[in-house]
Structures are given as structure tokens and as C-alpha cells.
Amino acid sequence: MLFNSLTFVVFFIVVVTAYWSIRSWNARKNLLVVASYIFYGAWNPPFAALLFSTTAMDFWLGSRIAKANGRHSRRMWLVGSVCMNLSMLGFFKYGNFLLQNFQWLLAQIGIIYQPPHLDILLPVGISFYTFHSLSYTLDIYRGVLQPTKSLRDFILAVSFFPQLVAGPIVRAGDFLPQLVTAPGLRMGQFLWGLLLMTLGLFEKIVLADTMLSGSADRVFSYAGPLVALDSWLGVMAFAGQIFFDFAGYSICAIGAALCLGFHLKDNFRFPYAAIGFSDFWRRWHISLSTFLRDYLYIPLGGNQVRPVRAAINLVIVMFLGGLWHGAAWTFVVWGLLHGSYLVIERVIRVFFEDARWANNFATKFLAGLATYTAVCIAWVFFRASDFTIATRMLRGMFGGHAHGDAILSGREMLQIGIVTICMILVHWSLRESNIETAVTRLPRWIVTTAWALMACAIILTQGSSNAFIYFQF
């Protein structure tokens, strides 16, 4: 079920009404479990069984880890959980990719092998709910979480419908405590949740799908050479599209959760105002970057190792982060590029961090623009379906097609320009703040008018049915 669909509107009204009408907290939680499975099953009912089985396994493994005596047996149970989750992910998401690469490797040594194409349907959101579930056993192993005795509560923590299929990656340790006591209906919180849902849908339907996606698609699918202007505009359009698409989903999820009395953490914090790449990853897909930091980077040694080893750790983490996004080498290159950016940034910081000029606004702003530009270059690999397209795009961006084609219309160029400039201005003006503070400080009439305009624009777009980009991950 998509947030931007009529089915979800009706579903959400029914669930919220029923939820706040029921007095018993247990009954409310049961209702949310049923609603979440309906939400998920509305894509492909059999996959709800897969979701349940991985959840139940992790529930059981979590209790085994907690009960195990000795480090060795705790570790064995954890390995069981990690293997179970990652093999599930590996089979559904990376099965064909692994086979294709195996075929290529054999071909390099002269063995011709034609693997069968596995007709595997990717369960929607499997990368997200696998991580929701995995965080539970990992946190129990790390000793920062006690296992819950209620399977129902754990099922709800993994499958809570606002965050189930495209994040944020809510850790069981952040969600389970909210299931201890029943939240009360607070009108301000509820209506703020609705405003956030409006904002999220506006970002997705109006800004991502209507204003930017068409141009990005046209540029990336154009089979010929493009002039530099069109190439850059296409990449900028995608940079905006993916932000509004994914941040829009996260804001919707946060808003929907608030309407039900739950608090999810921010997943984006104005990332295009980042100064440097470590700052970017503190602002972009925060739930994934903190997941990778806590469960991968720090266990590898984090910063507490020699600089070269720390740099290798960073690249390993970003390599896996890239692969998490999709079973293709283009995603791996995207991750490796970000890993390289992070390493280069560290080197630069060693030399210039304490320089006085490095901390004035002009330098920071230029560094921010450089960060945005480098992030855009990396997006080429994220968006391009193969390296031929990525290479063609990069050549276009760096003037390799002086006599290339100009395909974007004046309207499209204007849309990309206006949306991108406004987005960057908003990100810079709020980079040290948050949306709640902005709404509190702004005059009431501006907030009210903006809310009404966003709602009108959503109605005017007539509910585009484009799926969110991150669903495929």
C-alpha cells in the first residue's frame, strides 16, 4: 500500500479511528499488528508470511542470546540471527546478481556456465525490515537491550506499518519501550502528525514526481550525447527527486506514527546544506548511517585504530552501504565513491581544520557547494542503470559532448532551477535548526497558508501512483 494512494487514505482513517476508539492498550496493539500485516500483505500477501517468519525467528534467537551462558554461545546465537537475516536478504535481493557475477568469474578462466535465471520476486522493503529485526538481536548481544517477552510487541516493532517498507530503520530498542505504556491522544501531536504527512506527500507527489522526476528520467534515458547543461540539470533533478522522494516518505512515516502516538526519530536533517561528507552522512538517511556506524564501523575498530585501517573501515562500510541499496555494481561504485570522499575529507581536515579561513562562512558555503556537487556526481552511479549510461552522463557533465543534444524544455529547466535553489536555501537556513522550531517561530498565517497550499497541490496532482524509489531497496 502506497502512502500516496486512495487505499492508504481509507486504510489510515479506519485504523486511526479504530485505534483511538479502543480503550485497551493490548487491543490497540493487536489492531496495529493486524493493520500492519494488511498494509504489507496488500502488495503481495504471501510475503507477509516471510515477514512473520523472520520476525519470529529473531524473537526466539533474541531470547536465546539473552539466556546463553558465556560469550561463545551468545556469539553463536547472534551468528545464527545474522546468517538467517542476511541469507534471506541474499537470496531474494542478491540471488541473480551473485549468479551473474559467478558466471562472469568462470568465464574469465575459460569456463562457460549458463546459470538459470531465478525468477525471484523481491519482497518489498525487505532491506528495511531485515534491519529492523536484526537490530533487536544485535542490541541484545551488545547488552543494550533486554529481550521482550511479548512476541506480539516484537512483531509490532518490526512491522509497524508507517516505517515497515521504506524506513526510517527504527531499531527495536527505540520502539519497544514505546509499547510499555499506552500513549494518550494529544490533539497537538495528532494534528502535527497530519501536517507532517501533508508535507511528506507534498515532497513526494508534487516536488519529486511532478517537478523533477520527468526531467531526470528523460535525461538518464536519453540514448544520445547531451550537452553539459542538460546533463547537470538532469543530475540535479535526480538529486532533488531522490531527496524529496525518500525524505517525503520518512516524514510521512513520522507523521503517521505521531497520529498513533509513537515517536520516530528524524531520518533526514537538511542534507544538502552539509559541509563535508561526514556531515552529509549525519544528515542523509540517518537511520541507515547510524545503523552501519554502530553495528559495522565501530565493531571493525572505528576511529580507534591506525588512520590507514580507519580509512579502510570507512570504505568497507560504504561499500556495503552501497550494496545494501541494490544488487548492482553501480550501487557499489556509488558507495565506494562516498567512502573515498570520506577518506579524502579526513585527510583534508588533518591539514586545514584549524586554519582560521577554514571556519568563516564563505569557506563553509563553498565547501557546502563542493559537497553538493560531489554528491551529485555520485548520484550518477546511483541513478544510472549501467556503466554505459553513467559514463555517458559524466562525459556530458564535464563537457565531453560539445555538440551533444539539448533536450530539456524551458519549463523543465525552470522547474529544476527553482526547486533546487529553494531546496538548498531552505536546507541552509535550517541546517542548525529543525522543522519544529521553524514552525513554532513562523507567523501562524504563513504555516496555515503553506499547509493549505500543500494540501491543494496534492489534490491537484491527483495522487500520482509512482512508487517511492526506496521501495525497491
Partner 1 sequence: MPSSTSNFKGKLGLPRLFFAKPSEIVPRDYERPIPQVPWRGMTVVVVLIVIAAAAAWEFYCRSIGYGPTLNDNEDLWTMTRRRVKPESIIIVGDSRGWFDLDLDELQKGLGKRPVQLAMGGASAYPALADLANDENFHGTIICSVVPYLFFAPPGTPPMQNAEKAVRRSHTQTPAQRASQYLAMPLEEHVAFLKQEELTLDDLLKRLPIPNRPYAQMPPRLPPYFGTLDRERRARMIEECARPGSELQKRIQQIWLPLFTPPPPPSYIPKEVFLAKMKEAIETRFRDVIAGVNKLRARGGKIVFVRLPNSGGLKALEDRDTPRTQTWDPLLKGTAAPGIYYEDFPELSGFNCPEWSHLSAGDSVEFSKRLVPHLRKALEM
| DSSP element (H, E) containing 296 | none
Least spacing, CB of residue 470 vs partner 1, in Å: 17
Q: Does 405 bind partner 1 (CB under 8 A)?
A: yes
Residue 41 interacts with partner 1 (CB under 8 A): yes or no: yes
Shortest CB 31 distance to partner 1, Å: 14
Compare residues 369 and 452 and give the one whose CB is closer to partner 1. 452
Cell 482513517, located at residue: 13
Interface with partner 1, residue 409, by CB under 8 A = yes
Asked if 463 and 4 count as a contact pair (C-beta separation under 8 A), the reply is yes
- Per CB under 8 A, contacts with partner 1 among 279-338 are none
Query: Residue from 122, 158, 169, 206 that binds partner 1 (CB under 8 A)?
Result: 206
Cis ω for the linkage preceding 168 (within 30 of 0) = yes
CB 172 within 8 A of CB 291: no
User: Contacts with partner 1 in 147-186 (CB under 8 A)?
Assistant: 147-153, 174, 176-181, 186
Q: Which of 285, 325, 338, 427 is catalytic?
A: 325
Task: Reply yes or no on whether 427 is catalytic.
Answer: no
Number of residues that bind partner 1 (CB under 8 A): 77
Please tell me whether residue 210 binds partner 1 under the rule CB under 8 A.
yes
> Measured from the CB atom, is 315 or 435 closer to partner 1?
435
Angle between helices 410-429 and 361-383 (to 10 degrees): 130
Instruction: Decide: is 436 part of the binding site for partner 1 (CB under 8 A).
Output: yes
**Interface with partner 1 (CB under 8 A), residue from 13, 49, 144, 224:** 224
Of 42, 427, 470, nearest to 287 (Cα)? Answer: 470
Binders in 9-28 for partner 1, by CB under 8 A = 10, 26
> b/e string for 163-179 if b means 16 or more Cβ within 10 A?
bbbbbbbbbbbbbbebb
Closest CA to 200 of 269, 262, 263, 249: 249
Residues 168 and 467: their CA atoms lie apart, in Å, by 17
- Closest distance between partner 1 and the C-beta of residue 294, in Å? 16
Tell me which stretch binds partner 1 (CB under 8 A): 112-120, 260-268, 306-314, 377-385. 260-268
Q: Is 452 in the site for partner 1 (CB under 8 A)?
A: yes
**Residue 31, by phi and psi: left (phi above 0), alpha (psi -120 to 50) or beta?**
alpha
Give the span between the Cα atoms of 305 and 316, in whole angstroms.
15
Interaction of residue 36 with partner 1, rule CB under 8 A: no
Tell me which residues are annotated as active site. Answer: 325
